[in-house]
């Protein structure tokens, strides 16, 4: 329903709904291709969840926590810091917010520089080629368009019996904005967001307990070797990991309590100062009026799209978290370019063999392609090459021996099916594995590629050599 004062109708070649990683890139690419573009976002600043309350600020907190822990253990390298290393959360928050402000301001500058018209407000379809935009002052703007890209992202899943109050029960955004480190914290959900933040606060001084419904962390798809490394590191940080447990309710206080139940039905109360709910995310299409454009989400809440990112209405496209799993910013970046290029009349398609996933836990975890179990389930005869980082000179010099690099490959052809890394800077190293899969590489392609020494990238080379039986730095069990 139209409310408030109505402005004159705006017209454009393409409208992009959502200013996150997918949306803001789509708008820029459309403008580069000569299209008149309007970019709409509800926030006063662009960047979406990723830049404002997700990827970027969380990595800033995680890096600060890593540095804090390293300083407290620097004496092992002969670096003796006089007195106690003190944490100033106010200063940390200022530093983190400064990073966010710089990046979101940069995005705004890029949009302006490309001639994109940016509008703030809530958009909803009023027809297959018309949007209604309501801003913070309830002023209404009608927008007529030739093409649209839906890039509305996702929002956190909630527990009906444990609503986020921003005080005792917090979400990931609240965890990134804490003014002080809580003495104790319970994280509900052992996915990557909960583990990343839980480990960071454990390093900053919290006693952290993770409550996970499944029997394995990070969605249950980890290589067993990596899961063991992760659990071992969590224990070193003083964290308690309760697998096969579910939250039942909480009583606020300072401290309050969280009640959990195990698989046998036994319950117990955990004393805690904060409860962080991090159980996943859902695609966000609330209030978008998709039905008015002839669109509907599927049972999982996603907008179905084809390889061009077209929806069932050919001139309306969708990208990012609203489309399908996985919900990853780097997936949205590529989808944005594909959709923009198709709209501009250029041949383009979302056609990827490999989609890397990275988790900024400790150690970092990065995977691409099939796991060993997935490859076997798909009917492949497989073997693996695993190189432990304790045998890496670079890992030793960094004090980062908790890790491994693993390659899953087809036995007969030695074609690489998956690469899995746990260790420092794994998120940077996985690009080599991603390229290997995109190029349909084989073990000898990696093994015969010279890697610089001494580096962590050599661990991928060594894993390939272990698989081939040619590794000089660790005994190869395969040959």
- pLDDT at position 2 is 45
pLDDT tens sequence across 204-223: 999 999 999 999 999 888 99
Q: Does residue 468 surpass a pLDDT of 80?
A: yes
| Cα 294–Cα 298–Cα 299 angle in degrees, nearest 5 | 145
Q: Does residue 304 surpass a pLDDT of 80?
A: yes
Q: Where are the domains of the chain?
A: 10-156+283-343, 169-277, 357-468
Contact present, 116 and 107 (Cβ < 8 Å) = no
Homologous superfamily of domain range 357-468: FAD/NAD-linked reductase, C-terminal dimerisation domain (3.30.390.30)
453 is catalytic: yes
Sorting pLDDT into bands at 50, 70 and 90, what band is 388? very high
pLDDT tens sequence across 46-104: 999 999 999 999 999 999 999 999 998 888 889 888 878 899 999 999 999 999 999 99
- pLDDT at position 416 is 98
Average pLDDT over residues 12-19: 98
Q: Which CATH class is domain 169-277?
A: alpha beta
Token pair 């081939």 is at which residue? Answer: 468
CATH 3.50.50.60 fits 10-156+283-343, yes or no: yes
Is the peptide bond preceding residue 363 cis, with omega within 30 degrees of 0? yes
Q: Rounded to whole angstroms, how far apart are CA atoms 391 and 168?
A: 44
Q: What is the mean pLDDT of the chain?
A: 95
- Give the lowest-confidence range in 79-83, 117-121, 148-152, 329-333: 79-83
Q: Pick the catalytic residue from 330, 425, 453, 473.
A: 453
Strand partners, 283: 154
Average pLDDT over residues 449-463: 97
Average pLDDT over residues 348-365: 96
pTM over 0.85: yes
Contact present, 93 and 106 (Cβ < 8 Å) = no
Residues of the chain above pLDDT 90, percent: 91
Average pLDDT over residues 329-340: 97
Same fold across 10-156+283-343 and 169-277 = yes
From the CB of residue 355, how many other CB atoms can be counted at a distance below 10 Å?
Answer: 16
Residue 86, judged by CB atoms within 10 A of its CB (0-12, 13-18, 19+), counts as exposed
- pLDDT at position 1 is 43
Q: Does residue 5 surpass a pLDDT of 80?
A: no
- pLDDT at position 82 is 81
pLDDT tens sequence across 267-301: 999 999 999 999 999 999 999 999 999 999 999 99
């Amino acid at each position: 329903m139209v409310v408030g004062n109505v402005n004159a109708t705006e017209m454009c070649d393409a409208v992009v709904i959502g200013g996150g990683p997918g949306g803001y890139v789509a708008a820029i690419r459309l403008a580069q291709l000569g299209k008149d573009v309007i970019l709409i976002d509800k926030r006063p600043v662009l960047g979406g969840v990723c830049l404002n309350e997700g990827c970027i600020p969380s990595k800033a907190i995680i890096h600060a926590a890593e540095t804090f822990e390293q300083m407290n253990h620097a004496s092992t390298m002969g670096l003796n810091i006089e007195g106690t290393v003190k944490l100033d959360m106010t200063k940390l928050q200022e530093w983190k917010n400064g990073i966010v402000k710089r990046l979101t301001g940069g995005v705004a500058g890029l949009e302006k520089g490309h001639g994109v018209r940016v509008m703030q407000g809530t958009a909803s379809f009023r027809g297959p080629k018309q949007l209604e935009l309501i801003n913070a002052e309830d002023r209404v703007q009608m927008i007529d368009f030739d093409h649209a890209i839906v890039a509305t992202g996702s929002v956190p899943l909630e527990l009906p019996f444990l609503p986020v109050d921003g005080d005792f029960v917090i979400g990931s955004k609240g965890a990134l904005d804490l003014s002080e480190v809580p003495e104790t914290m319970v994280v509900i959900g052992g996915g990557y967001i909960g583990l990343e933040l839980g480990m960071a606060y454990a390093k900053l001084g919290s006693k952290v307990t993770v409550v996970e419904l499944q029997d394995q962390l990070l969605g249950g798809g980890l290589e067993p070797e990596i899961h063991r490394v992760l659990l071992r590191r969590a224990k070193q940080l003083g964290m308690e990991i309760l697998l096969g447990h579910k939250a039942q309710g909480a009583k606020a206080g300072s401290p309050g309590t969280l009640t959990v139940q195990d698989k046998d039905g036994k319950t117990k109360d955990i004393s805690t100062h904060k409860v962080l709910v991090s159980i996943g995310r859902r695609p966000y299409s609330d209030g978008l009026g998709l039905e008015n454009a002839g669109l509907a989400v599927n049972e999982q809440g996603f907008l179905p799209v084809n390889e061009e990112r077209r929806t069932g209405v050919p001139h309306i496209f969708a990208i990012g978290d609203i489309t399908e799993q996985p919900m990853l910013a780097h997936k949205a970046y590529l989808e944005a370019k594909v959709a923009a290029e198709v709209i501009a009349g250029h041949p383009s398609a979302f056609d990827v063999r490999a989609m890397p996933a990275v988790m900024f836990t400790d150690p970092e975890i990065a995977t691409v392609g099939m796991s060993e179990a997935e490859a076997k389930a798909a009917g492949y005869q497989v073997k693996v090459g695993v190189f432990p980082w304790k045998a890496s000179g670079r890992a030793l010099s960094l004090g980062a021996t908790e890790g491994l690099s693993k390659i899953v490959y087809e036995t007969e052809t030695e074609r690489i099916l998956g690469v899995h890394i746990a260790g420092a800077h794994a998120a940077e190293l996985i690009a080599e594995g991603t390229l290997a899969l995109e190029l349909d590489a084989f073990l000898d392609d990696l093994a015969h590629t010279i890697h610089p020494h001494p580096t962590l990238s050599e661990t991928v080379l060594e894993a390939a050599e272990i698989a081939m039986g040619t590794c000089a730095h660790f005994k190869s069990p395969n040959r």
